[in-house]
Structure 1
Amino acid sequence: MLLKHSLFASSVGLLLSLTPHTTAGSIKDINHVVLFMQENRAFDHYFGTMAGIRGFSDPNVQINPGNLPVWYQPVNSSITNATSYLLPWYLNYLGGNWSEATQCMVAGDNGWNDNHAALNGDLNNKWALNNTPWSWGHFTRQELPIHFGIAEGWTIGDMYQESVIASTNPNRVSWASGSINAPGSPQSPNQGGVTIDNNEVPGCEGDHLNCYPLSWKTTPEFYQEAGVTWQVYQNIDNFDDNPLAWFSQYQTAQPSTPLATRGVSFLKSLDTFYAEATAGTLPQVSYIIGPAELSEHPPYQPKDGAWLQQQVVDAVTKGKSYKDTVLIISYDETGGFGDHVTPYHSPQGTTGEWMQDPYGKFGQVYTGPGFRLPFYIVSPWTRGGNVFTEHADHISQIKFVEQWLGAKGYNVTTDQIPPWRRSHMSDLVKAFDFSAPDYSLPDIPVAEPPSQILGNYNGYAECEATYPTQRPPPPYGNQTPANSLVSEEGFKAVRGQLTEGRYLVFEAFGFAVTNNGGMVGASKASPRHDSKAQRWVIRQIEAGGNTFTVSSAVDGKFIGADLKLVSESEDAQVLKFTDMGNGKGYKVKTPDGKYFGFGIDEKIEGYQRRIGFSIFSVTYND
Structure 2
Amino acid sequence: MSTPSQDARRETLRGEEHRPLLGPDGEVLSSDSDSDPHPRRWAASSWVRTGTITLGLLLASALLVLVFFSVGLAIPGLPHPPGKKPPAPRGPIKNVVVLVQENLSFDAFAGGLTYSPHIDGLVNRSFCNPANINHPHPPHPQVCAKPTAKNVAPDDPDHSIAGGSMQIYGTYHPDNASPPAMQGFVTEQIRAHRIKADLSRAAEVINYYPPDHVPVFSAMAENFVLFDRWFASVPGPTNPNRAYLTSGTSHGHGMNDLAFLTSALPQPSIFEQLSDAHIDWVNYSNTSWFLPDALFYRWTVRSGKSATHVKPLDQFYRDARAGTLPPFTWINPECCQYTSFHPPSPINMGEAFLKSIYEALRASPQWNETLFILTFDEHGGFADHVAPPQDVPPGDARTYRERAPDGSEIEFKFDRLGVRVPTVLMSPWVGRGVVQNRPTDQPNDFSHTSILKYVAELWDLPVLTPRVAWSPSFGGLITDTWRETPEKLPEPAVF
The TM-score range, normalised by the shorter chain, is 0.5 to 0.7
Residue 167 of structure 1 pairs with residue 250 of structure 2: no
| RMSD, aligned CA | 3.1
Take 2:350 and 2:398, find their aligned partners in 1: how far apart are those partners?
34
Take 2:260 and 2:332, find their aligned partners in 1: how far apart are those partners?
23
Which residue of 1 is the match for residue 305 of structure 2?
258
1:39, 1:295 within 8 Å by CA — same for their partners in 2? yes
Instruction: Look up the equivalent residue of 2:312 and give its one-letter code.
Output: S
Which residue of 2 is the match for residue 55 of structure 1?
121
Take 1:159 and 1:202, find their aligned partners in 2: how far apart are those partners?
28
Select 2:468's aligned residue among 415, 422, 429: 422
Take 2:283 and 2:234, find their aligned partners in 1: how far apart are those partners?
23
Change (3 A) 1:78 1:309: same
Q: Secondary structure at the match of 1:36?
A: strand
2:226, 2:423 within 8 Å by CA — same for their partners in 1? yes
Which residue of 1 is the match for residue 419 of structure 2?
371
Which residue of 2 is the match for residue 549 of structure 1?
none
Residue 199 of structure 1 pairs with residue 244 of structure 2: no
Q: Secondary structure at the match of 2:284?
A: strand
Which residue of 2 is the match for residue 529 of structure 1?
none
Q: In the TM superposition, what is the alpha-carbon distance from 1:281 to its structure 2 partner?
A: 1.4
2:214, 2:492 within 8 Å by CA — same for their partners in 1? no
1:239, 1:290 within 8 Å by CA — same for their partners in 2? no
Alignment of 1:582-593 (within 5 A): none
Which residue of 2 is the match for residue 279 of structure 1?
322
Deviations 1:35-67 (A, max 9, x none): 1111011000011122331112589xxxxxxxx
1:73, 1:87 within 8 Å by CA — same for their partners in 2? yes
Alignment of 1:394-543 (within 5 A): 394-406=448-460, 412-415=461-464, 417=465, 419=466, 421-433=467-479, 435-441=480-486, 444-447=489-492
Q: In the TM superposition, what is the alpha-carbon distance from 1:339 to its structure 2 partner?
A: 0.8
Alignment of 1:40-119 (within 5 A): 40-51=103-114, 52=116, 53-56=119-122, 71-76=127-132, 83-92=140-149, 99=150, 102-119=151-168
Q: In the TM superposition, what is the alpha-carbon distance from 1:324 to its structure 2 partner?
A: 0.5
Select 1:297's aligned residue among 338, 342, 347: 342
Take 2:377 and 2:104, find their aligned partners in 1: how far apart are those partners?
8
Deviations 1:183-234 (A, max 9, x none): xxxxxxxxxxx1100011699xxxxxxx972211111101001110111112
Deviations 1:512-543 (A, max 9, x none): xxxxxxxxxxxxxxxxxxxxxxxxxxxxxxxx
Deviations 1:78-120 (A, max 9, x none): 999985322222335xxxxxx5xx4243341111111111112
Q: In the TM superposition, what is the alpha-carbon distance from 1:29 to its structure 2 partner?
A: 1.3
User: 394-403 vs 26-35, which deviates more?
Assistant: 26-35
Change (3 A) 1:216 1:402: same
Q: In the TM superposition, what is the alpha-carbon distance from 1:377 to its structure 2 partner?
A: 0.9
Change (3 A) 1:238 1:106: same
Q: In the TM superposition, what is the alpha-carbon distance from 1:138 to its structure 2 partner?
A: 1.2
Residue 307 of structure 1 pairs with residue 352 of structure 2: yes
Select 1:29's aligned residue among 58, 74, 92: 92
Q: Secondary structure at the match of 1:90?
A: coil
Instruction: Look up the equivalent residue of 1:115 and give its one-letter code.
Output: G
Take 1:79 and 1:161, find their aligned partners in 2: how far apart are those partners?
29
Deviations 1:561-617 (A, max 9, x none): xxxxxxxxxxxxxxxxxxxxxxxxxxxxxxxxxxxxxxxxxxxxxxxxxxxxxxxxx
Change (3 A) 1:369 1:354: farther
2:295, 2:306 within 8 Å by CA — same for their partners in 1? no
Take 2:414 and 2:109, find their aligned partners in 1: how far apart are those partners?
25
Residue 392 of structure 1 pairs with residue 443 of structure 2: no
1:49, 1:55 within 8 Å by CA — same for their partners in 2? yes
1:162, 1:372 within 8 Å by CA — same for their partners in 2? yes
Take 1:423 and 1:202, find their aligned partners in 2: how far apart are those partners?
25
Take 1:351 and 1:104, find their aligned partners in 2: how far apart are those partners?
33
Which residue of 1 is the match for residue 102 of structure 2?
39
Take 2:153 and 2:312, find their aligned partners in 1: how far apart are those partners?
26
Instruction: Look up the equivalent residue of 1:262 and give its one-letter code.
Output: H
Alignment of 1:211-230 (within 5 A): 213-230=264-281
Instruction: Look up the equivalent residue of 2:276 and give its one-letter code.
Output: E
2:133, 2:184 within 8 Å by CA — same for their partners in 1? no
Between the two proteins, the alignment pairs up a number of residues equal to 370
Q: Secondary structure at the match of 1:34?
A: strand
Select 1:249's aligned residue among 251, 276, 299: 299
Identity %: 22
Take 1:364 and 1:322, find their aligned partners in 2: how far apart are those partners?
41
2:248, 2:395 within 8 Å by CA — same for their partners in 1? no
Deviations 1:340-381 (A, max 9, x none): 11101326x978489575535556765431100011011011
1:307, 1:448 within 8 Å by CA — same for their partners in 2? no
Which residue of 2 is the match for residue 478 of structure 1?
none
Q: Secondary structure at the match of 2:482?
A: coil
Take 1:117 and 1:361, find their aligned partners in 2: how far apart are those partners?
14
Larger radius of gyration: 2
Change (3 A) 1:103 1:358: closer
Take 1:447 and 1:279, find their aligned partners in 2: how far apart are those partners?
26
Deviations 1:418-460 (A, max 9, x none): x2x2343221112222x222123176312479xxxxxxxxxxx
1:165, 1:367 within 8 Å by CA — same for their partners in 2? no
Change (3 A) 1:217 1:402: same
Take 1:239 and 1:156, find their aligned partners in 2: how far apart are those partners?
31
Alignment of 1:232-247 (within 5 A): 232-235=283-286, 237-247=287-297
Take 1:47 and 1:85, find their aligned partners in 2: how far apart are those partners?
23
Unaligned runs of 5+ in 1: 1-25, 60-68, 93-98, 182-193, 204-210, 407-411, 450-462, 464-622
